[in-house]
Amino acid sequence: MAQLVATLASTHHPFYLKATTMPREQQMPQAPEWKRKIEAYRETLTRTKPDILVMIGSDHFHQIFLDNCPQFLIGKAPRYDATFYNEEREFGIPKYVLEGDEAMSGFMHQHLMDQDFDFAFSNELKIDHSIICPIITVRPDADLPVVPIYTNIFAPPLPSPRRFYNLGRAIRKAIDAYPSDKRIAAIGTGHLSLELGGPRQFMETGPDPEFDRQAIEWLRSGDIEAILANVDHESMAKSGNATHGFLNFILMLGVAGPEAADYVDNLDLFHTMEAYFTWYAKEDAA
């Protein structure tokens, strides 16, 4: 059976590449520290020597729109183009082509359906920065096949936090059951407290630093009970109108299992708290 060698959950700051590659004299003061933290985080993936990446993100109205809006969707294609024109324009993210793994996508889709997660699917999915940002940070050579999974964190009504966690558990079961000797890493991105297009956007900190601090502690200790007791759609909206991206962190904790993280780092940047978590699979976590 396939082996889950690492579970990574992080924020996906679209300006990382631009911020750390522009001419040194124009860079923000935190750029070198940011780069160091990202390179250290990257090592938590590299050392596990993965063969396939299961990538969990959320389309930001790039391919998916309100005329046809799935809650959960899996990509099933031989390859995936990435980065839309407006992401290049706004964030300076280059275009990529990622190889797919149709066999694993097909297996995951069926397995998730068998676990009562009725996934939408796409045979022609162009992926956006929610999946390309972590490729840039933790696998910049973009040399591994991916199985992309999208969640809806944007267009209400959204699935519940518990549903996101249970989906993470189901994704873990599907990975564990995949009949292959491949080494799998699961990589998901979201947000801590975040405001976009509202009165609390682009402040010196994220809109709710207290939530950020608490969320990092919950994830550090793998305390799903505390998360589910304290976080709902209303509380997330109070912490910032785009804070629902935290749901993907909850999902990733489901993939890892309710365990303390093996690697935790964070960085307080203008307008967001960046956070980086890695769990290594323990024999009995599944």
Partner 1 sequence: MSKYYVNKFLFTVDRDPEYLKRYTEDPRNFVATWEQSIGPRLNDAEMSTVHSFTEAEREALINHDYVALFEMGAHFFLNLTIFIGIYDAPYMEKHGPLAFQKEFAAKLQHWAGKEYPSVAT
Residues in the site for partner 1, rule: CB under 8 A? 60-62, 65-67, 84-86, 89-90, 154-157, 196-203, 237, 241-242, 270
Q: How far is the CB of 186 from partner 1 (least distance, A)?
A: 25
Q: How far apart are CA 247 and CA 152, in angstroms?
A: 9
Q: Which is nearer to partner 1, 85 or 284 (CB)?
A: 85
Q: How far is the CB of 85 from partner 1 (least distance, A)?
A: 6
Q: Which is nearer to partner 1, 67 or 143 (CB)?
A: 67
Residues 278 and 7 sit within 8 Å (Cβ to Cβ)? yes
**Tokens encoding 187:** 């990589």
Residues 127 and 75 sit within 8 Å (Cβ to Cβ)? yes
Q: Going by C-beta distance under 8 Å and a sequence separation of 6 or more, which residues neighbour residue 142?
A: 96, 98, 135
Q: How far apart are CA 51 and CA 31, in angstroms?
A: 30
Q: How far is the CB of 238 from partner 1 (least distance, A)?
A: 9
Q: How far is the CB of 202 from partner 1 (least distance, A)?
A: 4
246: left (phi over 0), alpha (psi -120 to 50) or beta: alpha
Residues 143 and 96 sit within 8 Å (Cβ to Cβ)? no
Q: Which is nearer to partner 1, 64 or 147 (CB)?
A: 64
Q: How far is the CB of 72 from partner 1 (least distance, A)?
A: 19
Q: Which is nearer to partner 1, 48 or 239 (CB)?
A: 239
Q: Which is nearer to partner 1, 15 or 165 (CB)?
A: 15
Q: Which is nearer to partner 1, 67 or 283 (CB)?
A: 67
Q: How far apart are CA 151 and CA 170, in angstroms?
A: 14
- The bridge status of strand 3-11 relative to strand 272-279 is antiparallel
Q: How far is the CB of 198 from partner 1 (least distance, A)?
A: 6
